[in-house]
Structure 1
Amino acid sequence: MNQSTRAALVAELTQLLAGGNAHVTFEQALAGLPAPLRNQVVPGVPYTVWHLVEHLRLAQADILEFCVNPRYVALDWPADYWPDKTLAVDEAGWQATLHAIAHDQQRFTDLLNDPATDFFKPLAHGEGQNILREALLIGDHAAYHIGEIILLRRLLEGKYSPHA
């Protein structure tokens, strides 16, 4: 891959990981969320906003670990990818999670920007996965759950309209 094509691919993947384009970013989805709503349950919904945010942290961290650690050991699904549904988050825990998400996102972006990173080479310890696939997975997964966060916020804040 020539340098120009590589730079364009890195730019597109970085933009995907930052969010936006066709939807709001992770940061926009959480902006102004009142702290009490982080742990508020919506009847019939199996998770809170906090659970979704923590799930995003856990999944992104696992994908990053898979990409950079040749001794990676797979986590148990779904237990290791979701927080205990009986737990609530306090301010310190919330901030720690947001910091960890941003930190791991930067680490993955650094991996993409590393000239030694081969986007298409299968990871030796995987089953055909490569860095490009994992970057797309992070972006796709985040977009899905950001949509859920937006919907939960609308329900919790009373802003849901079936006509909106």
Structure 2
Amino acid sequence: MENHTAILIQELKKLLNGGTAHVGFAAAVSGIPFELLGERPYGLPYSIWQLVSHIRIAQWDMLEFSKDGSDQSLQWPDEYWPKETAPASEKDWQNALEEIDKDLKAFITLLDDRDWFETIPNGEGQTILREALQLADHNAYHIAEIVVIRRLLNNWKN
């Protein structure tokens, strides 16, 4: 049974890092010209910057909740979506990408350190496994939106 657990851990890590059945986050945001980050083509409701910011905020929230359940959830939807359509500077863009990477690595560390099936304190029955699957699903959904926007802006490789 231990071998099955190790296999499951590896598969969950692959899922969280993306890129097995779809484009991963790093590939989806690689090489985007700064001036395109705030574009919302064809009346789409979000820019790439807003999607990346939303991924960052939601992922951070899931990480903090998963640590011990003591974090206070943000107000939906206002605190999960930035109002600005573009980053103020390239440094803000790079900081957002670094925070996403750092928080994802921290979440993946929880998979090694915690019992996946134990209920998270102060939650409503959530487990680390549920949060890991939710995080992977959430990120994949919005990564696909980033790719679509890049295609609409003629800034995608395929």
Q: Using structure 1 for the length normalisation, give the TM-score.
A: 0.89
The Cα of 1:3 is off from its aligned counterpart by 2.7
Corresponding residue for residue 2 of structure 2: 3
CA distance in 1, matches of 2:103, 2:55: 11
- Write out per-residue CA displacement over residues 57-85 of structure 1, whole angstroms, 9 at most, x where no aligned residue: 00000000000134221211001111114
Question: More deviation in 97-106 or 87-96?
Answer: 87-96
SS at match of 2:83: coil
CA distance in 2, matches of 1:19, 1:87: 25
CA distance in 1, matches of 2:155, 2:4: 46
CA contact (8 A) 1:72 1:125 kept: no
CA contact (8 A) 2:59 2:100 kept: yes
Runs of 4+ in 1 over 2 A off after TM superposition: 85-89
The Cα of 1:86 is off from its aligned counterpart by 5.1
> Is 2:149 aligned against 1:137?
no
CA distance in 1, matches of 2:111, 2:151: 35
Matches within 5 A, 1:64-75: 64-75=63-74
CA distance in 2, matches of 1:43, 1:4: 49
The Cα of 1:43 is off from its aligned counterpart by 3.3
The Cα of 1:87 is off from its aligned counterpart by 5.2
CA contact (8 A) 1:38 1:89 kept: no
CA distance in 1, matches of 2:9, 2:27: 23
The Cα of 1:32 is off from its aligned counterpart by 1.6
Q: Using structure 2 for the length normalisation, give the TM-score.
A: 0.92
Q: Which amino acid aligns with 1:132?
A: L
- Work out the percentage of aligned pairs sharing the same amino acid: 45
CA contact (8 A) 2:46 2:85 kept: no
CA RMSD of aligned residues (A): 1.7
CA contact (8 A) 1:71 1:125 kept: yes
Aligned pair in 2 of structure 1 residues 104, 111: CA closer, same or farther (>3 Å)? same
Q: Which amino acid aligns with 2:82?
A: P
CA distance in 2, matches of 1:71, 1:156: 41
Unaligned residue ranges in structure 2 (runs of 5+): none
Unaligned residue ranges in structure 1 (runs of 5+): none
Q: Which amino acid aligns with 1:63?
A: M
CA distance in 1, matches of 2:32, 2:148: 13
CA contact (8 A) 1:26 1:146 kept: yes
CA distance in 2, matches of 1:73, 1:145: 23
CA contact (8 A) 1:50 1:89 kept: no
CA distance in 1, matches of 2:16, 2:50: 20
CA distance in 2, matches of 1:19, 1:77: 26
Corresponding residue for residue 12 of structure 1: 11
